[in-house]
Amino acid sequence: MKEYYDSKINLTMLTDFYELTMANGYFQYGYKDTIGYFDMFYRNIPDHGGFVIMCGVQQVVDYLNNLKFTDEDIEYLRGRGFCEGFLDYLKNFDFCCDVWAIPEGTPVFPGEPIIKVRGPMLQAQFLETMILLIINHQSLIATKANRVVRASEGRAVMEFGSRRAQSAQAAILGARAAYIGGCIGTACTLDGRDYDIPALGTMAHSWVQLFPSEYEAFRAYAEAYPDSCTLLVDTFNVLKSGVPNAIKVFNEVLVPQGKRPKGIRIDSGDITYLSKKARKMLDDAGFPDCGICASNSLDEYIIRDMLLQGAKVDSFGVGERLITSSSHPVLDGVYKLVAIEDKNGNIIPKIKISENVTKITTPCNKEVYRFYDKETGKAEADVLTVCGEVIDDSQPYLLFDPNYTWKQKEITNYVAKPLLVKIFENGKCIAEEKSAKEIQDYCKEQIDTLWDECLRFEHPHQYWVDYSEKLYNTKFNLLKEFSSK
């Protein structure tokens, strides 16, 4: 697989400037080698949904594998208030952090660490901007794509968003994320080359306009692509000319060769109405196997309503509202310090307090466990623990809501599995690289472990994300300590 970054594009300096001012300060005041623990987590689920799909880990790996400061970088920083010792450190930068991540394709929930970094403060802090940039974007698009795919009720969804994406990389990595979220392919040819994602597409309206007539345009396309003939039928009039001309070409060009049409595409108008009429026309003409594809500013809500109204659509091409997640264009992932180590290696929990309760961080070096029911295989809850705690899943476990502790539930007959996987050890990558297809298959399996109530678009069930008693007490005691000062 082609790396997200190549040797000609060094994005080490794609960072918030305060990462460098803090790093220089850590260096000058003797904190550069203090071991810190950082969590990346998010607070709110986009579109008021039930979960977010973790995505972008491979690009984080690529970024960390390519961390280096060039002579040009150092010269730019010189004269910006940084000491020479710090600039020498950057010139000889040697990444040495440990990094854990929840695997791509896993449903994840608010407040739980989805990436964890342990390492010298100067380095671990510096990673903040790019980790957030990568994971926030791709997880957002994978999640939106999955919503669209679920709305289609088993019909194929193709990602058509490159021309409306907000940058070249947003188009490329957005298409990758959409595929992981469940799309069958993308219009982005580069993703076909670099990620082995099916690249899909047929014709635009300009093809039809170029020829002397719609019929001649269709005939030329069918002759050029007899094994994959899909015709765009809405350039002039779907029912009066588009579908009749398509049927005529199917009979004149494909049938004599013993071939069948792949489909027609409708890109404008009342697609629900038009698809019903087109379906009858195709069936009456002897082409019940000819699919109907719909496109044109679709999203999960439009698709759901079309199908509720009886649209005869077999596949969907979804572009701008998917690639930009236009209904909720931001995932609010954050990156926070949760602990440091003293000189003796003791882990000291750290907390950030706010009058806004949702912005109070959860301290400690943590693990995330997911509890699965042994009979159904369904995910019942996630539990955050202090690292080193052991969950005995042969015994009942009492879940409680960390914010409303009287809300409790005892769970039995379950298996507890840790979610975080180590991907870097002492700065060296130990992650197992997987193809986009493997991640997509894994994602589907993991979505199937969620109860239907979690999959609702409106008012989904709030999944349990619990703390162990030790973690809860640590957080509570820190809050009590600081509130008494």
Per-residue pLDDT tens over the stretch 56-71:
999 999 999 999 999 9
H helical segments located in 152-213? 168-180, 189-195, 205-210
Amino acid 358: pLDDT? 87
Per the CB < 8 A criterion, the answer to whether 334 and 356 are in contact is no
Q: Average pLDDT for residues 368-396, to the nearest whole number?
A: 97
User: For residue 241, what are its two tokens?
Assistant: 């000319």
Amino acid 1: pLDDT? 43
**pLDDT higher than threshold 50 for residue 277:** yes
Per-residue pLDDT tens over the stretch 433-484:
999 999 999 999 999 999 999 999 999 999 999 999 999 999 999 999 987 7
The values of phi and psi at residue 291, to 5°, are -75, 160
C-alpha gyration radius of the chain? 26
Per-residue pLDDT tens over the stretch 157-214:
999 999 999 999 999 999 999 999 999 999 999 999 999 999 999 999 999 999 999 9
Amino acid 403: pLDDT? 85
Per the CB < 8 A criterion, the answer to whether 147 and 129 are in contact is no
Amino acid 171: pLDDT? 97
Q: Is 474 helix (H, G, I), strand (E, B) or coil?
A: helix
Amino acid 10: pLDDT? 83
The percentage of residues in the chain with a pLDDT greater than 70, rounded to a whole number, is: 98
User: For residue 168, what are its two tokens?
Assistant: 């070249």
- Which of 150, 148, 141, 157 is closest to 59 using CA atoms? 141
pLDDT band, very low/low/confident/very high, at 7 (cuts 50, 70, 90): very low
DSSP state of 341: E
| DSSP H or E segment with residue 249 | helix 243-249
Q: Average pLDDT for residues 75-89, to the nearest whole number?
A: 96
Q: What is the pTM of this model?
A: 0.96
Q: Name the residue type at position 245.
A: N
Q: What is the CATH code of the structural domain delimited by 17-141+329-483?
A: 3.20.140.10
Mean pLDDT lowest among 6-15, 223-232, 344-353: 6-15
Per the CB < 8 A criterion, the answer to whether 125 and 19 are in contact is yes
CA distance 155 to 164: 23
Averaged confidence pLDDT in the chain:
96
Q: Is 188 helix (H, G, I), strand (E, B) or coil?
A: coil
Per-residue pLDDT tens over the stretch 405-420:
899 999 999 999 999 9
Q: Which residues of 406-415 are buried (b: 16+ CB within 10 A; e: fewer)?
A: eeeeebeebe
Q: Domain residue spans in the chain?
A: 17-141+329-483
Q: Is 78 helix (H, G, I), strand (E, B) or coil?
A: coil
